[in-house]
Structure 1
Amino acid sequence: MRDSGASDRRRLEGLARLSGFSDGVFAIAITLLILNIELPDSTASATVGMHRVLEEWPDFLSYVISFLVIGNYWIVHHSIFEDVRRYDRGLLWLNIIYLMFIAFIPFSTSLIGDFPGGFPVMVYAGTLTLTGVVLSILWRYAWSNDLLDDAVDGERMHDVTLSILTPSVVFAGSVLIATVSARLAMYSWFLLFFADSIRKRLVG
């Protein structure tokens, strides 16, 4: 006869390992972001030095946006796995793919500072767009395959899906804007601070 207690213990240990591995990837990715900000060359004049620092604004903007976005994705990921009660190989692979995009964010962030222009902005925004899309697929996969807590209803599934995809909509729009102006595309990321409240008003 199968020991249900041992089975539950293995399941909980597996979920703990999954969450621990995911947290480690998030921690490394969010730490690597600061390495993308390079100090300007030293100058004789403090005024010129300040000017050089201000010229690094794309690095600072992408750092702040990336830090907050990765933080938001961690919060959503943490919230999702609070509701996960079971897992299968499909969920594990979707989580790996999601973490692959998270780990790629520091590199795409560095492109903006090293090679200013439309293409790096498109790579960066495209990366963050796909990160949200993969997470929404993971969430819906867990729902469709009965891997979530029984208390999770259709309304919560829908609300979490919209919450995940809202930043992706902003970044996807900035990809299109970047074909015209990289600077304007970067400015459009400030919509992220208001996008969630706008979505809630529109959806009701």
Structure 2
Amino acid sequence: MVYRGTRESEETDRMLALSDGVIAIAITLLVLEITVPEIPAGSPLSVLPSLIFEQWHEFFGFVLSFLVIGSYWVNHRRIFVHIERHDRGILWLNLLFLLMVAFIPFASSVFATYPDQFGIMFLSGTLALTGFTLALLWSYASRRELVEEGLSSRVVEIQAARFLASPAVFVLSILVAAFDPGLGILTWLLLVPINAVLQSRLVENLEGEASQSRVRTSK
């Protein structure tokens, strides 16, 4: 007879289904924060394009939050590709991550309504905390040896760096926005090159390990 706790530790389908559902709903809710502008009484219809353009911050907040949630979903998926079993700690940390994801649409709405220093810092803080919960999830799983056997410490470290990269950029954005809100927004662009470099290093290490494994097998 298989111990019940063992069966539960190997069941991840329901946890992943819940995670995918929460993330999908959060992404969908983002677009609801974009309002349709009202044409002032007596104004011609031709003013509509300019009114929509004035809402650039709403579109920017939507795209940024969508891409960040999407990247966090990708990282979440990569974590559970390597996790072979889980415990209560994983369950609660995953719920903490989902709590932050579910809060992102509200933070995006705050930024869309108040695209000033506070709005930038509030959205950046929310996205940073969300990323840190994901990094904490990976750190916990690797320290408790819940990840697959044979995963090198180098790969674990690069993955950890990847999970910390995005929240670190948002923390930097908060600090910069305290002095210059516009520059604080520009710091978000650092997400692209930093994640690209870390992804490249991760692929190189994984390919190197796979090559060494094939060599050992052929001997």
What's the TM-score, normalizing by structure 1?
Answer: 0.89
**Residues 78-103 of structure 1: per-residue CA shift (max 9 Å, x gap):** 11111111111111111111111111
- Classify the secondary structure of the residue corresponding to 1:150: coil
How many pairs are equivalent? 201
Answer yes or no: is the 8 Å Cα contact 2:79–2:138 preserved in 1: yes
2:108 aligned with 1:101: no
Identity in percent: 36
Q: What residue is the counterpart of 1:195 in the other structure?
A: 194
Structure 1, 31-40 or 148-157: larger mean CA deviation? 148-157
| In 2: Cα distance, 1:41 partner to 1:193 partner | 35
The structure-2 alpha-carbon separation of the partners of 1:3 and 1:198, relative to structure 1 and needing over 3 Å to count, comes to closer
| In 1: Cα distance, 2:46 partner to 2:197 partner | 41
**Residues 46-71 of structure 1: per-residue CA shift (max 9 Å, x gap):** 44211111111111111111101100
What's the TM-score, normalizing by structure 2?
Answer: 0.83
| Structure 1 residue 148, shift from structure 2 partner | 0.9
Task: Could you tell me which runs of 5 or more consecutive residues in structure 2 were left unpaired when the two chains were aligned.
Answer: 205-219
The one-letter code of the counterpart of 1:160 is: Q
What pairs up with 1:69-108 in 2 under 5 angstroms?
A: 69-108=68-107
Q: After the TM superposition, which parts of structure 1 deviate over 6 Å for at least 4 consecutive aligned residues?
A: 200-204
| In 1: Cα distance, 2:186 partner to 2:35 partner | 21
The one-letter code of the counterpart of 2:65 is: S
| Structure 1 residue 184, shift from structure 2 partner | 2.5
Answer yes or no: is the 8 Å Cα contact 2:158–2:201 preserved in 1: no
Task: Could you tell me which runs of 5 or more consecutive residues in structure 1 were left unpaired when the two chains were aligned.
Answer: none
Q: What residue is the counterpart of 2:32 in the other structure?
A: 35
Structure 1, 103-112 or 126-135: larger mean CA deviation? 126-135
- Classify the secondary structure of the residue corresponding to 1:149: coil
| In 2: Cα distance, 1:36 partner to 1:185 partner | 22
Q: What residue is the counterpart of 2:215 in the other structure?
A: none
What pairs up with 1:1-204 in 2 under 5 angstroms?
A: 2-3=1-2, 10-12=8-10, 14-42=11-39, 44-198=43-197
| In 1: Cα distance, 2:199 partner to 2:31 partner | 32
**Residues 162-195 of structure 1: per-residue CA shift (max 9 Å, x gap):** 1111111211111012112323212321222222
Q: Larger Cα Rg: Structure 1 or Structure 2? A: 2
